[in-house]
């Protein structure tokens, strides 16, 4: 299997970059404050007609690299079909510019800074008692839906804790009935003998895996849907594609022979493989007659990194790891026939935090009749997509990691990288070319005030890579504790 891997060059094809986005769907606008929701008590009986829920998460897929946002070089027909049959967001944001914290926010529906999961799971932590990952005191979507009677599965990349052997933070102990994939931030796409000791099923390492990882995630998904088609299910699909390492099958590479840059060619082949498997999942849902009762989200966890995985973010400025738009604004779409509009392009800013809020509403967890406050930060898409929540235009969105921070409202965005502050008018300047910090001190003061009010509800980051900030080495070691 490894013999099929191809090498790649380091040259960026700038001409192709320029051509990549045929059109840029214009951005605009707005924001509103977070809010809390109430839920009914947990029950093991799902409500009548409880919808199936699918979250498809791409990894490091940049804003420029889907067909539905205008690219004519990628081949993403199935992802594009999903977007065309639902709502495509032109200003869809994630809560972080790197993998782990975005996932922590996504699966809790809360800003990850609320519970200290501000950085990727890392070897250093603040206190001896810290567990590196999303703390068990936070309830994940999977935990809430499982308590509601859903069948639950995650296939792909976890990156929410447990990678050094803390079993309590692994998927199987976080509300998922099934897990196939890996716990870390990246893995080989071909590793037939599991030499990295990353591929797992449940809580155990697998002996061998001869499938290309992206195809294996698709296979597992089809089996899971087949086995659970008669009960509501929650299927979380965090594909590792198109995160490095750049590895594709010979068949997929052959479809992009015309692309000069070998690295860009490999990226496109990896993306095409993910799209093919998205198509398999969508087809399975359709052929089983589940389409009208299945709520599906697609998004990327952060922007592309053109010098690493060769995924592009044009015309946005910045890359993965940055709070410029290219790091945090991502391809994002939702589909639920009859419940969300079909073929709509939505141009107001929305957040990955809204996914949990929408799911809890769809699954009947948000009736205002009980004391279990979900304490989520997102907004229910079903309300704002129907026009029932006009306050979306007054929303603020926030970002924070180490000494980087950002806040945006309807029109403006304040970015702070270290000591450097910049103000951009995103309505006029979506590519963030003109810093107008000195021209609008009134806007700067308002955004800073909103940020500080938000940050007062956060706790210090609990783990990270900087030993000066996080003095305790996480002594856990992985693997040896695992059964094989
Ligand atoms: Ca990522």
We report the CATH number of the domain holding residue 411 as 3.40.720.10
- Would residue 93 count as lying in a domain? yes
- Determine the distance separating the centroid of ligand 1 and the alpha carbon of 403, expressed in angstroms: 20
429-481 pLDDT, tens digit each: 999 999 999 999 999 999 999 999 999 999 999 999 999 999 999 887 765 44
Q: What is the mean pLDDT of the chain?
A: 89
| pLDDT tens-digit map of 229-274 | 999 999 999 999 999 999 999 999 999 999 999 999 999 999 999 9
User: How many of the other CB atoms lie within 10 Å of CB of 442?
Assistant: 8
CA of 300 to the centre of ligand 1 (A): 7
Whether residue 480 lies inside any domain: the answer is no
Within a domain: 481: no
Q: Is residue 484 part of a domain?
A: no
286 found inside a domain:
yes
Token representation of residue 235:
């299927």
Ligand 1 centroid distance, CA of 242 (Å): 8
Cα of 40 vs centre of ligand 1, distance in Å, is 34
Q: How far apart are CA 201 and CA 205, in angstroms?
A: 6
Distance 84 CA to ligand 1 centre (A): 24
Average pLDDT over residues 59-79: 96
Coil/strand/helix, residue 21? strand
Compute the distance from residue 368 Cα to the ligand 1 centre, in Å: 35
Contact residues for 94 (Cβ-Cβ < 8 A; gap 6+): 102, 105, 106, 299, 300, 301, 302, 328, 330, 351, 352
3-state secondary structure of 347: coil
| Å from CA of 50 to ligand 1 middle | 31
State in Å: Cα 323 to ligand 1 middle. Answer: 14
88 bridge partner residues? 333, 345
User: Which pLDDT does position 2 carry in this prediction?
Assistant: 35
Distance from Cα 262 to the centre of ligand 1, integer Å: 21
Cα of 479 vs centre of ligand 1, distance in Å, is 24
CA atoms within 13 A on the CB side of 38: 6
Give the distance (Å) from ligand 1 centre to CA of residue 469: 24
Structural domain contains residue 478: no
Ligand 1 midpoint to CA 59 (Å):
4
Q: Domain range for residue 182?
A: 2-473
439 alpha carbon – ligand 1 mean position (Å):
35
What pLDDT does 447 receive? 97
**What does the pLDDT look like over 327-361, one tens digit per residue?**
999 999 999 999 999 999 999 999 999 999 999 99
Going from the Cα of 243 to the center of ligand 1, the distance in angstroms, rounded, reads 7
pLDDT tier for residue 371 given thresholds of 50, 70 and 90: very low
**Cα 112 to ligand 1 centre (Å):** 15
- Cα 60 to ligand 1 centre (Å): 4
Average pLDDT estimate for 89-117: 98
Total of domains in the chain: 1
In the prediction, which pLDDT does 483 show?
45
- Does residue 15 lie in a domain region? yes
Q: How far is the CA of 390 from the centre of ligand 1 (A)?
A: 32
User: 33 pLDDT exceeds 90?
Assistant: no
Ligand 1 centre distance from Cα of residue 48 (Å):
36
The rounded Å distance from CA 370 to ligand 1 centre is 36
The answer to whether position 415 is within a domain reads yes
400 burial type by CB count under 10 A (0-12 exposed, 13-18 middle, 19+ buried): buried
Interval between CA 294 and ligand 1 midpoint (Å): 26
Count CB-CB contacts under 10 A for residue 473.
Answer: 10
How far is the centre of ligand 1, averaged over its atoms, from the C-alpha of 321 (Å)? 9
The pLDDT, as a whole number, for residue 96 is 98
């Amino acid at each position: 299997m490894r013999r099929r891997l191809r090498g790649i060059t380091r040259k960026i094809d700038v001409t192709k970059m320029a051509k990549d986005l045929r059109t840029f769907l214009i951005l605009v606008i707005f924001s509103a404050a977070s809010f809390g929701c109430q839920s009914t008590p947990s029950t093991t009986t799902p409500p009548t007609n409880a919808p199936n829920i699918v979250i498809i998460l791409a990894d490091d897929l940049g804003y420029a690299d889907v067909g539905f946002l205008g690219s004519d070089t990628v081949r993403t027909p199935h992802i594009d079909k999903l977007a065309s049959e639902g709502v495509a967001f032109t200003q869809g944001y994630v809560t972080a510019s790197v993998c782990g914290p975005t996932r922590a926010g996504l699966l809790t529906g809360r800003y990850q800074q609320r519970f200290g999961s501000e950085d990727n799971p890392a070897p250093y932590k603040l206190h001896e008692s810290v567990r590196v990952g999303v703390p068990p005191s936070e309830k994940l979507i999977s935990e809430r839906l499982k308590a509601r009677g859903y069948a639950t599965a995650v296939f792909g990349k976890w990156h929410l804790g447990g990678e050094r052997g803390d079993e309590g933070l692994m998927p199987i102990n976080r509300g998922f009935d099934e897990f196939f994939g890996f716990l870390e931030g990246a893995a080989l796409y071909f590793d037939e003998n599991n030499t990295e000791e990353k591929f797992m099923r449940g809580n155990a390492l697998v002996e061998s895996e001869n499938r290309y990882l992206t195809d294996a995630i698709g296979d597992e998904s089809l089996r899971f849907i087949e086995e659970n088609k008669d009960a509501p299910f929650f299927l979380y699909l965090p594909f590792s594609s198109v995160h490095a390492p750049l590895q594709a099958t010979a068949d997929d590479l052959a479809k992009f022979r015309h692309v000069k840059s070998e690295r860009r060619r490999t990226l496109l082949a990896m993306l095409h493989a993910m799209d093919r498997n998205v198509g398999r999942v969508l087809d399975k849902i359709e052929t089983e007659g589940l389409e009208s009762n299945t709520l599906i989200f697609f998004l990327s966890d952060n922007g592309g990194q053109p010098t690493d995985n060769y995924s592009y973010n044009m015309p946005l400025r910045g890359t993965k790891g940055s709070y410029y738009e290219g790091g945090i604004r991502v391809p994002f779409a939702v589909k639920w026939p009859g419940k969300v509009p079909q073929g709509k392009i939505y141009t107001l800013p929305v957040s990955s935090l809204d996914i949990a809020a929408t799911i809890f509403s769809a699954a009947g967890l948000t009736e205002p009749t009980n004391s279990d406050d979900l304490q989520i930060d997102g907004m229910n898409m079903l309300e704002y997509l129907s026009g029932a929540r006009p306050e979306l235009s007054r929303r603020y969105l926030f970002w924070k990691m180490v000494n980087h921070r950002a806040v945006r409202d309807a029109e403006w965005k304040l970015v702070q990288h270290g000591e450097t502050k910049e103000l951009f008018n995103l309505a006029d300047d979506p590519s963030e070319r003109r810093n107008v910090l000195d021209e609008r001190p009134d806007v700067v003061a308002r955004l800073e005030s909103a940020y500080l009010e938000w940050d007062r509800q956060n706790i210090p980051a609990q783990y990270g890579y900087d030993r000066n900030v996080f003095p305790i080495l996480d002594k856990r070691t992985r693997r040896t504790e695992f059964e094989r």
